[in-house]
Structure 1
Amino acid sequence: MKNKILILLAFFTILKAFSETKKETFNYKVSFLQFQDVDSTNLQKFALIEKQYKDKDYEQSLEGALILLKSDIDPLLRYKINMHISEIFRVNNNHKKAIEYLLKSVDIFEKSTSLDGLSSPKDVKYLVQPYFMLANEYLRLELKDSAKVYYDKVLNFNGSSKEIMSFKAKTSSTLSGIYMQDSLYSKAKEYAQAAITIHRQYNNKISESAALGNLASIYLSQNEFKKSKSIYEEALDLIKHEGGDRALRIKQQLYYNLAYNLYKLEDHEAYKAQEESYNLKDAQRDKEIRRIIENLEKKYNFDIEKEYFLEQAKNKRLEEQRIFWGVAIACLLIIFSLIYVIKLNNLKQNNLALKLSETKLLQNQQIDKIKSETQVRILNATIDGKESERKQIAETLHDSVSALLSSANLHLQATRKQFNGSTPVEIDKTQQIIIEASHKIRDLSHTLVSSVLLKFGLNFAVKEIASKYSNSELVIETDIQNIQRYHQNFEIKVYNIISEFINNILKHSRAKRALITIIEENGRLFITIQDNGVGFDKTKINEKNGLGLNQIDARIQIMKGYFNIDSSKKKGTKISIELPVIEREIMTHV
């Protein structure tokens, strides 16, 4: 039963890779009638709404679309706006709302007299697409019966253009997966074969290969291992010369399922198929990392406006320093005046008693200072221990345990040659287990310490965490200038401090925007983290809630840095940190 579940998961991954559309703004951006009666201003407004969506400003895009719907607009534009709103709700996982606006789009197309009698394939696509999208949304809500109603509408739709047949193929593949999940294998095969036929008709090799993989998975679920093996090999042969992300993703899943199929047939080629699947997955992961780096480099090419913001922040910091020194001098003058008055009043008192009092005061201050420094060092040592332990475990897993597993695998490979082609199944199984363990150890070592931080440094790691936690509710921006690679322990400490503050923003601030600024000047790192959230009263932080801040304060003190929080209710929060840079060690060769 467990193996069947794994097969089904792999099958639906292939199905998802096949059936999902590319990451475009919308699929329905095809003009099917001239907008003769539509005011050009409304078209300009709709273009702005689409741009806001593309920039992931979903709130503004939705607000603009809802306002435009209230205007006197052409039915075709009204259709497009409803489709647009449905898409916004879909990407934000509000599937019930997505269905509501899809149904409005269908209703406009079916009932509007100005749209009657359309026969062009591009025109008809405007009805078959919302049918398909409605079915998908119902399926996401696990309402299979409602989903099947609209999938049937797609399959029964009149028309044989390439676009319409593409929707029918996607629908057939999805229905095949549904019936396979329900163990109705005869129907599942029927729909899988229908998808294969359509893709073959239009020479779409990648989609045909995915559909063949679906068919093979059905036979695999029925324990018809020889039949499923033959179909998997046919699917792989079809795309052996194809490149691109989708083709590689489908190949990886096909090899993965084929490996299990061969294992059930007790075929030693199972190991090679599994190894090929892992190699393809690693290649995809490396490609994705390169893409992330390229996007980061493009995304964080700051314009003049952000340079102006940076200059303003710098000026504000200098102004705060001037105020600080002004207040400090005034305090010193007051203190000196008080001391002078006290001395005048105490001249008549016993000098010995005065000396004793001063000595006692100094002793108490010294004791308080020792206690404070001890608490800071204990707290800092605890944090240092955790970071060092995580880093040590990650390095041990990656450098030592992985090396031992690789060595064991090589020994087994050498042992294989001694059997003259008749290798015992146990050796194959052992090698599979060793390879799987190697991959899991590698993934675990990356989880303990940020792999982006270790490989590419603080710059990319901070940008990655900002991108990771940004969403439609909170946008986190970064402004990083003139920083380089530093000592690894220093980078880990700074990264953990920033991560702690970002977590506080996510948990408590209810902010819409946040900005992380990092600048290196004269051997010192200036870090500012600010948000426009609800803020807080620093005087009302209890010991439990302030534990995280105490830990950060201890860390910054031991790093000989400066730390300040500026916050008040409903006015956001600004964190200012200043740290002396610890340069990266240079290795010398003897």
Structure 2
Amino acid sequence: MIQKSEIFRNLNDYENALNTLYEALPVAEKYNLQDKQSLIYRGIGNVNGLSFEFTKAKKYLHKALKIALKLNNNDLLNKANQGLLRIHYETGSDSVEYYLKKIAFYTSKSNNLSDKYKNYSNFSKIYLDKGNPIGKKYLDSSYTIAKKIGKRENIANTLNDFGIYYINVEKNYPKALEKFFEAIELFDVSSNSNNSRVLNISYANISYCYEKMGNYKKALEYNNKYYELFEEILSGRLDAARQEIETKYQIKKIEDEFKEKQSLIEERQTRNQRLLLLFASIFILAGFIFYFYYQNLLLKQKNKIKDLDNDLQYKIISATLDGQDQERNKISGILHDHVSAILSSVGLHLSAFESSLTKEQIEDLKKTRSLLKDAHDKVRDLSHELVPPLLVKLGLQYALKDLCENNSNKLIHFEFHSTLPREKRFHPDFENRIYFIVSELLNNIIKHSGASQAKLTIEELGEKLHITIEDNGKGFDTKNINKSNGFGLTQIKARVNNMNGKMKIKSIINKGTTIQISVDE
């Protein structure tokens, strides 16, 4: 049908050309023949262009181009861009050079010499029509490739283009005549339509040159040859196209009759088989339905038990971690408020005895004070490790920023970024949990990732706190996350789940890891 439309187009019967293409389009769409859809849209666009419907032409050629890009088909891309080049050239658009470059790009990826020849020929014609001498460079290239291909028609066309160059650019009509006569010498006048077309163009160009040189007798002679040959070409094309259409019609008619008879025979042969297969299929289908229903029931029960088991495990881990947090806060409070205070009080009491002691006793007292200070410092440090004072006094943002700074060194740098207001505070329990979740994740990066850069981002969206931790480390296989990361990530997941939050992990081997946490405030 696509070939049939091209016949109608060559006969200037644009209505039948379009009708044929629109008949072909539903077939291509039904069977998802995307390459054929691109060719059909290209054909519709080209016919609309020939009918001066340039807006419609661009619409359909762009559809053809879109499909060609999707398929990444170099040949279809080249064809679609050639159609758009013609439309933009005929409308005098500034986009002509853009499409020329596009065609040159796709042609450069092709090993087809004919494509390269057409490309250089396009460049030369468009530049020479404008009288731009740069067209000569492309003309030389097209002539070289035409000689490699060895087709006389291509060589003759290029010689005609050389003649156009001498007319439009150098105004050298004798030199132009030489090229046109060289083109004619390649062919004998024959019924071959391709040869006749080349000769016809040459005759018209020779007539023009003689006219410009003032030799009107010769101009009229070749002008008459042009019209005589034009009539022969038109008559030959009409006869050939008419015969081809009639032949295709007869073939299509015979094929349809054969298919109809074949369909009746096949229908009779398969009727009894279908009845037999129907009963067998019903029986087998019933067996399969029962089997899959039973297996599906078992699978649902297993999944339900597995979900309950996972839920129980998370609850156990969450309860354990909550207990640890409570104990940590309790121990930190005892160390800071009681043990530390007692040690300070002991120091004051020792100071009170200093005035009544001998010199030797004072030396012993100094040693006792030194040991007491070490004990006091260790108690303070342990208290700070259990619950950072910065977290208690200034809040989550300052504590996390301090955590990033303390963990940064020559091997790895932690960047901190927050979009929260500086004075923003959350419930103390919430801040404690988030702090230790982030602390554990940063420790994982330091121990396992091999990263040199990491970034911690916290932001508030709606009533949720979003935390993102990224690194440029070696990454890991997220499918085996439990095997590769042990109990640490399981604990963190349990903490996040216990806070009605969600945790996503994206990791690519040798490209780093991104962990996103979203929790209700």
Larger radius of gyration: 2
TM-score normalised by the chain length of structure 1: 0.35
Larger relative contact order (C-alpha < 8 A, sep ≥ 6)? 1
Greater helix proportion: 2
Q: TM-score, normalised by structure 2?
A: 0.39
